Chain A
Amino acid sequence: MAKDNGRAILEKYCLDCHQGDQAEAGQDFSDLGGRLSPITELIFENVATGKMPPADADHPDKGEKRLLLEWLASRSPQVRFPSFRRLSRSEFVQSSNDLLGIRLDLTERIPDDRGSFRFDSNRRIALSQEVLSSYFSVADQMLEFALPRKGFPVEQEWVTNKLKDSHSSYNIYVKDFRDGLLFSWTRANNGNSYSFFYDHFEPPVSGWYELTFDAAKVGDFPETVSLQVHGGKYYFADDRPQPQRLLGVISLDNREVQSHKIMVFLEKGENVSVHLHSKHTFRKKNSNAGGFIRQMRARGPVHESWPPPSFKNIFPGLTTHAEKRTVLSRNESRTNLQKIGGRLTVSSFQPGMEKEKMQDGSNQTFWHTRFHPTLAKGPHFVVLENPMRVPLHGLRYATWSGGNGNGQVKTYSVESSSDGENWNEPIVSGKLETRLANEQFIVFRKPVDLPFLRFLITDSFSIDGRSLASVGKLDVMTRVEPPVPTQSIEILGSTAVELEGCIRSFAERAFSSRLASSDLAPYVEIGRQELERTGDFVLAARLAIKAILSSPRFLLFPGKYSNDSYARAAFLAKVFWRSVPDQKLLEVCRENRLSGRILDQQIKKMMSDPRSRRMVQSLARQWLNLRAWKTISPSLKLYPLYDDLLDHFLPMETEMYLHYLIQENRPVSELIDSDYSFLNQRLAQHYGIPGVFGTHMRKVAFPDDVPRGGLLTMGSILKVTTDGFDTSPILRGAWVSRNIAGIPLSPPPENVKAIEPDLQSATSLREQIDKHKNSESCASCHKSIDPYGFALESFDASGQWRSRYRTRLPHRGTFQYRQQGYYKMGDEVDASGEINGKEFRGVTEFKALLNSNQQRIAYNFARKFFEYTNGYAPDFIQRLELLKMIEDQNGSCHTGDLVRRIVVFSLEELNR
């Protein structure tokens, strides 16, 4: 019955245009009676979202529309998806972390197997050998972190207020100030982060470290000072930028020194650097404004508790014996020579440039031979005394950085002596780099323990030929780095029975199910064998856990569950937490009580749990493509104000906003428009909103004249829809159509000249696109794609408002950062357009137009969320269900409700 009616409705409303050779857009529906072609989907979506029939044609009423959709749905080809999917790499890492009780992000060490699928959860992505074998090795690394073979490294504490050397031309932006350092504008010249690494602190092992900065704001301006804390490997202080990742931002608004703490994960051997830049200190040499840091204290590796949570998680109920956590103070401010009770003498010195300057931890201060009032004659040398006759392995040398390079050592030799007067044949001689500011090592073939060493300068640099010598740093190498002391934790009562208990508890959490002995047997068996072989309880548990984390029961989803409640719990934990159910949830499942009212309660609870932020983060990365965030960097020539802080906070805005919409159950229309967002000082500056100070992100209401609100006008979205240089209305248009408006796009027909406008010829931008649209075969699609991009033309690739385009200008020689960038103003932006016969003049009217069909916005969001949740796009019948959920809400559809209902619906579909 419905079938025939549906067919009749299609004929009545569609065939007038879509029939025969002259069919509109080349889409002929008249032979749709038989097998359905791929255009069925297009028809379904266009009717569902109200795009078709067009505005000026007759429309089916609600009932007819429903009949037509049901008819199309009933004829839709059954697309078969695999009944299971593999865990994505981020789910693997997140779940393993939760199971083991650690926080270690090794996602990047697992190949990204998403391919070109949008959602990580897509069921078409099959687990591959490469990914599985990387899980083996990542599991090893996580287990080593949770249960280290040789015990937990002791906690150590470092205090430092010295920087490693950086290139002299940037040192002018940092200076000694009071009893510490003042950072004024350390991002330095071309927008790259140069080296401002702290000396005397290097994490001996990878782990979590607490950094405390005793710091204060200096300067008379209302904004707070944002101290960027970076981690990276200091390699040398040449004029090269050094890769650094932003670990966190500290906001200084205090005039008196206060302690600011930040918890960071550092890799072994990384260093910590600080950057700070603000318009108030821009390129001011020796400025008296900025951030004052008296000292940095580092403590770690730290654990949330002692014994660490991993022990409680992996060995529940077992008694452990752990020595009290000790803290080892690492006062690194003494040099090796001082530590071994040695001292220096020199051939001569210039007042102000004494020998002590080689031992003060900096090579901005230095020893220099006498040149005034008389010139000291060579040979120039430094004698190092070693009264305790400690075996010395070599010398550490650094040039003095900055200045004209006078006196920097070109060749040297090192001699030894037992009395300081008669010198033996050189132990070693060689060349040293002159223009390099980092440390250079002179290694002896074998350790030397004679009481005197002489560092003889046999040739040195001099701009005017005078005989000079200078040294920034000189110290002895006493031994190879001592191993980090560790503390072990003993487990009492470690028998095979206890081992089985631990393996069971871990496996039941990992597999979200009660397990029969036969299910558990493979894992228990290898644990037992390992215990017998090695007698090491922890190693035996590690091996069994590694197998559990590589098991199909863990890696393929859904797994095998002992009752329906477990199946539901596992599903919910995936959706909301990207992980496994926790202990509490599993307890509810034990008696199969996760249904009805209890299910609703649990869903609410899980949604408001802090772990649900992972869902939002994941959605933003996948649905809105923020995963491409780091691959796009706005050009500093065109967008000179784009900086690390924006890069750090912009995606946070989107995540917090989405989280808020769901938590507070805001109307779906707020995806498109609202009068608030989540901002801090830097983002507010970017958007031109006055009066927001401080780094913390908070809800801010937009003033009336600010054209922001909703996802589309967020800097994050505006950035990921460009290549960092130019914006393209076609790219942005396609993005908005697909992801927000939910307009199905058919791929460009054959042999179409694709154009991507280039802003360097901004005058012809419109013309080009118009030309494109005037062509018959292009027009039918592009008239519905491009306008979505035109509306966003008012925003540049960094997300800032613009009324004119910027045209790049060339720069001479190497790129030199400047605040005004390298561009001239081009043509005026025209952000007007027309969608379905309705005109808009700019982004505000555009958003209103989008929101005039809220059902469509809600439907699109529902489809995307369904796909994220289930790993496949809803089929037509499921789409009808989604449409029903939205229609039920009568006009104002709420985000939180929709999310909850889709999850509940998906749970029902699980049993289908």
Chain B
Amino acid sequence: MIDWNRREILKYGLAFPSLPIGIQELAYGTAFPERPEKPKKRILLICNSLGFYGKYFFPRERGELNTSTYLKGFSNPEKLTVVENLFHPGMETSNHDSEKSFLTGAPHPESPHFTNTVSLDQVLASKMGGQTRFPFLSFSIYDRGWGCSWNDQGVAIPPMHDEEQIYNRLFGQEDLTAKKREIRQNQIVLQALKHDLLVLEKTEEKSAVESYRRLIRQLENRLEHEVHWLSAPKPRVSAKLNEDPEFAFSTKVSNLFRLARLAFQTDSTRVITLSLDWIYGAIDVPGASGGWHTLSHHGGRKETLQKLSCVERDILRHFDQFLKEMDQVSEPGGSLLDHTTVVMGSNFGDSSNHTCQNLPTLVAGGGIAHQQHRVLEAPTPLCNLWLELLHRHDIDVDRFGSSVQDMQLLAN
């Protein structure tokens, strides 16, 4: 088994000279269990919040992936499906707010009275999250406090955006004595708070007390989960993060993909969301610089489109690299990619016009019998696909968000 792992390393060394040393010393116990078992299912959900320019993203000829300007030349075309004609109902006037509903499908996020609903990843995590150190992870580029993940109360789960911090959360070694002391203290504090809630309950408003009680319960569970994982050493990896101040944006995107791969590979989590979000500030990618948002309003102008496509290509380049790397990690019964469903999508169909029809949606990996390009005749709720993904991950529900039915879009 160790030899097998070494081969894995060699392959990495060859494929990615940019990795200084390559991945080594994965904790065998967690990544490669002694006894072969059913491959673990994982999922990565990505929202590219300014979308992709449709004419470059979608294949020009039906069914032919290599007629897509962006996707031709992808390393694993046989493991991709682009689905055309998906949309979220209720986003007609949502503009950028539609981003909040990407994984929830909750309509009219622009309304001042909007409360979001639970996001797809959280439903998945509630089922798939119990066996890993992190029930789920959510990443974003910027520190906006929200990304793709929303809890069952519709409250944003702040994504992690600092690559180094993510790296340390996943792989950094901790002072276990201090950690234990902290957990013990936190448990005592929770006891005190529970006690106080009993006092408050008599006089205070129910809703406040209830909402707080729920938080305390969640924290108790979380601490228990932490105590459990305290006894298992964190996996060690020697892969490093990239640092390239010239293309900070590009570097960040590639690092987030790398961290996602490492997290899956070490079985630190099985559910990840990645919010490729934006701010008004300008970014630099190879070939272009400017405000991503400004560029996204290309209005069909050639020069602006050219720059925008540099940004989009850059993101997809890292995405392709990620898929390639995932596919090069062998697991019993296939590659890591074969056991990980990856969705690259967006809340915008056309960010230049702020419209949310025909959302660019790409599904990769996951052991799906891929069809490269599937065009739906009628506009179809994206939540149908979300529902199908829930079913594919053994979650038996009848509906999710605005879903109508599981259309078996990914069944060939």
* A and B: bona fide binding partners: yes
Which chain A residues have a beta carbon within 8 Å of chain B's beta carbons?
A: 79, 82-84, 111-116, 124-133, 136-137, 140, 240-241, 518-519, 521-523, 525-526, 529-530, 543-544, 546-547, 550-553, 556, 560, 628, 631-633, 635, 722-726, 728, 747-756, 758, 760-761, 768, 814, 873
Establish whether residues B353 and A521, one from each chain, have CB atoms under 8 Å apart when the complex forms: no
Name the distance in Å between B284's Cβ and chain A's nearest Cβ. Answer: 9
22 contacts between A and B (CB under 8 A): A111-B158, A113-B156, A115-B156, A116-B97, A124-B115, A129-B218, A133-B222, A140-B185, A521-B199, A522-B193, A522-B199, A525-B195, A526-B189, A543-B188, A550-B189, A552-B197, A632-B280, A723-B280, A723-B293, A726-B290, A758-B294, A873-B112
Contact B144 A525 (CB under 8 A): no
Is A136 a contact of B156 with CB atoms below 8 Å? no
11 extra A-B contacts, CB within 8 A, seeds A140-B185, A758-B301? A111-B145, A112-B145, A114-B145, A131-B158, A137-B182, A240-B245, A526-B192, A723-B280, A723-B282, A725-B282, A754-B354
B95-132, CB < 8 A from A: 95, 97, 100, 110, 112-113, 115
Number of B interface residues in the complex (CB < 8 A): 67
Closest chain A residue, CB of each to CB of B115: A124
B405 at the binding interface (Cβ < 8 Å): no
Residues B156-192 near A (CB distance < 8 A): 156-158, 182, 185-186, 188-189, 191-192
- Whether A723 contacts B291 by the Cβ 8 Å rule is yes
Q: Is the CB of B205 within 8 A of A129?
A: no
Nearest chain A residue, comparing its CB with the CB of B196: A522
Task: Give the Cβ gap from B246 to chain A, nearest Cβ, in Å.
Answer: 8
**What are the residues of chain A within 8 A of B245 when measuring CB–CB?**
240-241
- Most A CB within 10 A of own CB, among B113, B155, B204, B222: B155
Which residue in B115, B200, B297, B299 is a CB contact (below 8 Å) of A552?
Answer: B200
CB-defined contacts of A137 to chain B, threshold 8 Å: 182
Instruction: Check: B211 CB closer than 8 A to any chain A CB.
Output: yes
Residue from the set B193, B219, B245, B304 with the largest chain A CB neighbour count within 10 Å: B193
Within 8 Å CB of A631, what residues of B? Answer: 142, 279-281
B212 located at the interface, meaning its Cβ lies under 8 Å from any Cβ of chain A in the complex: yes
CB distance from B188 to the nearest CB of A (A): 5
Known interface pairs A751-B353, A755-B297; A518-B157 also in contact (CB < 8 Å): no
Docked CA distance A726–B186 (Å): 49
Measured in the bound complex, the distance between the Cα atoms of B245 and A124 in whole Å is 38
Is B355's beta carbon under 8 Å from chain A?
Answer: yes
Name the B residues within 8 Å of A128 (CB-CB): 151, 153, 155-158, 215
Listed in ascending order, the chain B residues whose CB lies under 8 Å from chain A are: 92-95, 97, 100, 110, 112-113, 115, 142-146, 151, 153, 155-158, 182, 185-186, 188-189, 191-193, 195-197, 199-200, 203-205, 207-209, 211-212, 215, 218-219, 222, 245-246, 279-282, 289-291, 293-294, 297-299, 301, 303-304, 352-355
Select A560's contact among B93, B110, B204, B282, beta carbons within 8 Å: B204
Closest to A750 in B: B92
In the complex the two chains form, what is the Cα distance from A111 to B293 in whole Å? 24
Q: Is the CB of A82 within 8 A of B207?
A: yes
Give chain A residues whose Cβ lies under 8 Å from the Cβ of B199.
518-519, 521-522
Chain A residues with CB under 8 Å of B146's CB are 113, 115-116
> How far is the CB of B91 from the nearest CB of chain A, in Å?
10
Instruction: For A756, give the chain B residue with the smallest CB separation.
Output: B297
Residues in A whose Cβ lies below 8 Å from that of B100:
115-116
CB-CB < 8 A to B93: which residues of A?
Answer: 747-750
Given known A140-B182, A755-B299, A756-B297, contact A526–B354 (CB-CB < 8 A): no
Q: Given A556-B208, A754-B297, are A136 and B189 neighbors across the interface (CB < 8 Å)?
A: yes
Assembly CA distance A749 to B162 (angstroms): 37
Q: Is the CB of A556 within 8 A of B212?
A: yes
Q: Given B158, B191, B297, which contacts A130 in the complex, CB threshold below 8 Å?
A: B158
A553 to B110: give the CA distance in the assembly, Å. Answer: 32
Query: Which 10 A/B pairs are nearest by Cβ-Cβ distance?
Result: A723-B291, A111-B158, A112-B145, A756-B297, A522-B195, A547-B192, A522-B196, A747-B93, A522-B192, A552-B212
Give how many A-B residue pairs fall within 8 Å (CB-CB).
187
**Which B-chain residue is minimally distant from A559 (CB atoms)?**
B204
- Is the Cβ of B294 less than 8 Å from the Cβ of A723? yes
With a cutoff of 8 Å between Cβ atoms, the chain B residues found around residue A523 in the complex are: 192, 196
Smallest CB–CB gap between A201 and chain B, Å?
25
Residues from chain B with Cβ under 8 Å of A552 in the complex: 193, 196-197, 200, 208-209, 212
Residues of the A chain whose Cβ atoms lie less than 8 Å from the Cβ of B185: 140, 543, 546
Chain A residue contacts of B145, Cβ below 8 A: 111-115
Interchain nearest-CB distance for A119 vs B (Å): 12
Give A578 Cβ to nearest chain B Cβ, in Å. 18
Q: Tell me how far the C-beta of B68 lies from the nearest C-beta in chain A, rounded to whole angstroms.
A: 24
Q: How far is the CA of A79 from the CA of B115 in the complex (A)?
A: 13
Query: In the assembled complex, which residues on chain A have CB atoms less than 8 Å from the CB atom of B158?
Result: 111-113, 128, 130-131
A553 to chain B, nearest CB (A): 7
What's the Cα separation between A751 and B219 when bound, in Å? 45
Q: How many Å lie between the Cα of A240 and that of B243 in the bound state?
A: 11
B291 in contact with A725 (CB, 8 Å):
yes
What's the nearest-Cβ distance from chain A to residue B89, in Å?
A: 13
Q: How far is the CA of A635 from the CA of B203 in the complex (A)?
A: 57
Docked pose: A547 CA to B196 CA in angstroms: 10
Contact partners of B191 in chain A: CB under 8 A: 526
Which residues from chain A contact B186 at a C-beta distance below 8 Å? Answer: 136
Q: How distant is the Cα of A526 from the Cα of B194 in the complex, in angstroms?
A: 12
Contact across chains for B95 and A748 when beta carbons are under 8 A apart: yes
Closest B residue to A873 by beta carbon equals B112
Q: Which residue of A has the minimal Cβ distance to B203?
A: A560
Chain A residue contacts of B151, Cβ below 8 A: 128-129
- Give the distance in Å from the alpha carbon of A112 to the alpha carbon of B291 in the complex: 23
Interchain CB contact under 8 A, A747 and B95: yes
Q: Given the complex, which residues of A lie within 8 Å of B188, measured CB to CB?
A: 526, 529-530, 543, 547
Chain B residues near A752: list those with CB within 8 A: 353-354
A724 touches B189 (CB 8 A): no
> Which of A129, A132, A136 gathers the greatest number of chain B CB atoms within 10 Å?
A129
A546 to B246, CA, bound (A): 43
A553 touches B281 (CB 8 A): no
Check B144–A112 contact: CB distance below 8 A. yes
What are the residues of chain B within 8 A of A755 when measuring CB–CB? 297, 299, 352
CB closest residue in chain B, given A108: B143
